[in-house]
Amino acid sequence: MADPRHLFDLTGRVACVTGASSGLGRRAAVTLAAAGAEVIGVARRPDALQSLKGEIGPSAAVVVADVADRGAVPALCAAICAPFGDPDIIVHAAGVNTREAADDVTPDGWDATLALNLSAPFFISQALVPAMRKKGWGRIVNFASLQTTRAFPGGIAYGATKAGVGQLTRAMAEAWSPDGITANAIGPGFFPTELTQAVFDNPERSARNAAQTCMHRNGRMEDIDGPLLFLCSQASGYVTGQILMVDGGFTAK
């Protein structure tokens, strides 16, 4: 038997991570680089991206872009492919949660949430899949949510898009897995990121969320490393169309 540790080795792979300037997207970029991949981080904030590039070193490149701009997808994908070649791995971590009550959601806010959380993962993947197909190998990892299956107060726009991400993931698998491209999603629980800052700034609310998990604690950034690396590597070669909840058992209760 070959050394099973090689299943998680990403040496020679190229990974693109959107939303790489902060939070779980940044953590994903650092993790994949540590596993041997060359990584392209995509986000809107140049200073944060340069910080990421400095942390990872020469195996990282960055692209400043708004991934929700559908008309710019061809130019964006050309920029993604320029530093290291066509990506083998795409991690869609960019997202927004406006936390608005249903009565307060505006058409513009709804459309912006849909464009970033749901449309961008599809159209960017669609543009990059042909090169994966030629190689016969690819990994697409979307970011789902607790709200993929649960309704939260103030989460109607966000929840609708994350429910869509669940079905998008399954449909991507159906469309592209015959070509060796797996499509899966990670559903994080409560992690300390910019999107959840309001939750963690409220000790009572944070403790209440932790109590609802099976493990009685909220997520730590390192908790995402193993599940992400599994879904991006050869270790998950026969896993596709799945949502892996990394939530301490929140959705198990």
Q: What tokens appear for 79 in the block?
A: 């920029």
Residue 53 carries which side chain, given as an amino acid letter? K
> Encoding tokens for residue 69?
């701009």
Distance CA 43, CA 26 (A): 10
> Hey, which residues does 142 pair with through a beta bridge?
92, 185
Q: By the 8 A CB rule, do 245 and 251 touch?
A: yes
Residues labelled catalytic:
158
The residues pairing with 188 across neighbouring beta strands, listed in sequence order, are: 246
- State the distance between the two ends of the chain, measured CA to CA, in whole angstroms: 38
